[in-house]
Amino acid sequence: MAAVQVLSTEMVVPAEATPGAAVWLSNLDLAARRGYTPTVYFYRPNGEHAGFFAADAVKDSLARALVAFYPLAGRLGLDGARRVQIDCTGEGAVFVTARSDHYALEDLMNEFVPCGEMRDLFVPPTPTPNPPCVLLLAQVTYLRCGGVVLGLAMHHSVVDARSAALFVETWASVARGSTKEDAPVPPSFDHRLLAARQERAVPYDHPEYKPEPAPVHAATAASTYASALITVSKQQVSALRARCAGASTFRAVVALVWQCACRARGLPLDAETRLYSMIDMRPRLAPPLPQGYFGNAVIRTSTVATVGEVVSNPVDYGARRARAATSQGDDYARSLVDYLDGVDVMNLPRSGISRAHLRAISWMGMSLSDADFGWGAPSFMGPALMYYSGFVYVMNAAGKEGALTLALSLEPESMPEFRKVFAHELARLDV
């Protein structure tokens, strides 16, 4: 018997009539990874509330949430110039209900790591991500213990992590019966706020949007990966930040991961290693984007060093390099948008990275309590899948104030050594 049995698949349309005009997408939308971002939310059984994640109630709240977020009920389309846009057709989002007599929540939380198998179990299968295609797919899986897994797949050309979080927050608010006054900020679909300037100016280099040079050493991208979830305690986070004076939590933690990954991979000391990151530009632009800006407002940045520099220096060296990669402001973002206006943005390199490199993304701003549909906050939220080796998400740990959870992927041969080295460094922070 399959570990998860699909019970129904249907389309949920907005509860009211919605605008039909197409939504223009910015160069940052078009430059995003072409595909779906799969995430999972784990909910413990809540016998105190009748109708715990009842399918009809969840579908009803989704239909009402899609009124404000009507582009998600549309389809990816093309304008007259064959440029990708959102066609606001109101056709709806895919909604799947499923059951697992195999998994109880505690067993799943002990076993779960982001990987293809878990994505296939708890997130609806996604179509080819090219026009015309659906933009939102959701699955509610009822576990044998009474718990629930909510799996989502949202098209990355339409949302970044901040936008996805705003939608889930609104959907959960609707499900809880919140009033309009209590609801989160309304979404803004004015992507022309990130349009290129009439007179393009590109004073910065943007290597993150260009093909990666062939590595000097044999360190090509890995086609397979091993993944892990690792918790860093509040005490360890504080101690690490103390060693990286002036660094943010994200930069300090990523610096340690970068250092340990370089050690675990056993690369030559003179090999080049690049730390990639993503920066949310909403508050950094002048003027800032609306709080509810719904689209891709993140940019890729990076910093480069030799493996020897990363592993031989104290961890604050990596934190300082990370700061250099994550401190850009309005002028840098506008330079990037203008640069993308002059290239074939639909065919940018979107493959994996060299096994000497690391890509770090912060999901620390995604509050678990905001995903409370009326039956309690999730016990875990995170990616259902890692796209390739060398990825790390930094997230708030559920139920552990100040602690972090890292979702990490590395080459299968490097992961055991990374776990050993990283655990040793965390133990040193406890001293």
Rg of the Cα atoms in the chain: 22
Peptide bond into 132 cis (omega under 30): yes
Catalytic option among 155, 156, 206, 357: 156
Tell me, yes or no, if 372 is annotated catalytic.
Answer: yes
Comparing C-alpha atoms, which of 402, 397, 89, 427 is closest to residue 238? 402
Query: How far apart are the C-alpha atoms of 153 and 91, rounded to whole Å?
Result: 17
DSSP3 helix / strand / coil % (the chain, rounded to 5): 30, 25, 45
- DSSP designation for 221: B
H or E stretch at 262: helix 249-265
Query: How far apart are the C-alpha atoms of 82 and 10, rounded to whole Å?
Result: 30
Phi-psi region of 163 (alpha: psi -120 to 50; beta: other; left: phi over 0): alpha
Strands of the sheet with 75-78, listed across from one edge: 23-24, 84-87, 75-78, 133-134
Cβ–Cβ under 8 Å, residues 254 and 275: yes
Catalytic option among 120, 331, 341, 372: 372
Phi-psi region of 399 (alpha: psi -120 to 50; beta: other; left: phi over 0): left
Give how far Cα 125 sits from Cα of 118, 253, 274, 275, Å: 12, 33, 33, 31
Q: Name the residues annotated as catalytic.
A: 156, 372
